[in-house]
């Protein structure tokens, strides 16, 4: 059958990606609306609107990539996070909804005053840093990444959203900000074990492995960051971390070893342990 209308394309496209996507109908609709610049209502009103040849070509091209497993966020180079539409490329992890929990936990601990300095370690597309910058306009946010290409994406996102209270530094974890002290450090490090079967799923295959994988048990980055963090925090400052849902005991142990107190673990919307927050003691001294 020759495809002529939006409705015909939608039906055919969702069948074609049914094996690869958990949400084939939605994916097809999102692609169609982006290419044809249609909102939901327009599509609902006129499902049999004819497609132009160039729209059809672009749609077929995106559909082939989607059928191979490429995530919709990379196809459209765009992902919503914390009410911000972010530019995403394959140089950065696609921001996950569960990371909004990390943003909430950090915001609970950041006052909106000019004295507050906040660090986002391994910012990727800038999701965490930009959400914090948006919600706390008086605070000064520093975002780091070891990947210069990820930093370019994050910088472009800050510019696109007109956020001027964020600056960017290149480097490996805290080496990016030598001698600096912060009221709060937020970090969503890589925490997946290199042989985790989850890495065989379609979406993670397209993401930078550097942002996902952290050694044999997924703990390598956390083992570097947690012991080093107290030196980069003001007395009473907070470290807020995302981690895997089975890593809570190991993270808790590392936080105790590094002499953090007030250690709190949080669960995400699906009930999985996902974020830990820990305060460096008021009397912490080297």
| Residues contributing to the site for ligand GLN (CB under 6 A) | 96, 188, 190-192, 204, 212, 242
Say how far apart CA 181 and CA 96 lie, in whole Å. Answer: 28
Residue 98: CB minimum distance to ligand GLN, A? 7
Considering the complex, state which of residue 14 and residue 247 has its C-beta at the smaller distance from ligand GLN. 247
Residue 244: CB minimum distance to ligand GLN, A? 7
Strand, coil or helix: what is 178?
Answer: coil
Judged on CB neighbours under 10 Å (0-12, 13-18, 19+), 107 is middle
Considering the complex, state which of residue 21 and residue 204 has its C-beta at the smaller distance from ligand GLN. 204
Considering the complex, state which of residue 27 and residue 207 has its C-beta at the smaller distance from ligand GLN. 207
Considering the complex, state which of residue 31 and residue 219 has its C-beta at the smaller distance from ligand GLN. 219
Handedness of CA 153, 159, 163, 167 (dihedral sign): positive
Considering the complex, state which of residue 212 and residue 232 has its C-beta at the smaller distance from ligand GLN. 212
Residue 66: CB minimum distance to ligand GLN, A? 19
Residue 196: CB minimum distance to ligand GLN, A? 9
Judged on CB neighbours under 10 Å (0-12, 13-18, 19+), 285 is exposed
Say how far apart CA 80 and CA 162 lie, in whole Å. Answer: 16
Strand, coil or helix: what is 263?
Answer: strand
Residue 230: CB minimum distance to ligand GLN, A? 22
């Amino acid at each position: 059958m020759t495809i002529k209308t939006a409705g015909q394309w939608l039906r055919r496209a969702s069948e074609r990606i049914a094996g690869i996507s958990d949400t084939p109908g939605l994916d097809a609709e999102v692609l169609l609306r982006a290419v044809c610049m249609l909102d939901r209502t327009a599509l609902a009103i006129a499902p049999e609107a004819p497609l132009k040849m160039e729209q059809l070509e672009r749609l077929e091209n995106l559909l082939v990539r989607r059928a191979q497993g490429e995530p919709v966020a990379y196809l459209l180079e765009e992902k919503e996070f914390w009410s911000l539409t972010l530019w995403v490329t394959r140089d950065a992890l696609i921001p996950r909804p569960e990371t909004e929990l990390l943003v909430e936990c950090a915001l609970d601990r950041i006052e909106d005053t000019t004295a507050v300095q906040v660090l986002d370690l391994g910012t990727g597309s800038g999701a965490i840093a930009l959400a914090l910058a948006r919600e706390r306009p008086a605070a000064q946010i520093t975002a780091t990444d070891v990947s210069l290409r990820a930093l370019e994406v994050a910088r472009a996102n800050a510019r696109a959203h007109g956020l001027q209270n964020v600056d960017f530094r290149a480097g490996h974890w805290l080496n990016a900000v030598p001698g600096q002290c912060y009221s709060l450090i937020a970090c969503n490090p890589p925490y997946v074990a290199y042989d985790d079967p989850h890495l065989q799923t379609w979406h993670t295959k397209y993401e930078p492995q550097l942002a996902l994988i952290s050694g044999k048990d997924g703990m390598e980055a956390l083992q570097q960051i947690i012991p080093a963090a107290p030196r980069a925090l003001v007395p009473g400052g907070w470290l807020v971390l995302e981690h895997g849902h089975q890593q809570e005991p190991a993270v808790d142990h590392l936080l105790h070893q590094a002499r953090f107190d007030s250690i709190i673990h949080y669960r995400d919307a699906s009930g999985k342990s996902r974020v830990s927050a820990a305060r460096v003691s008021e009397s912490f001294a080297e």
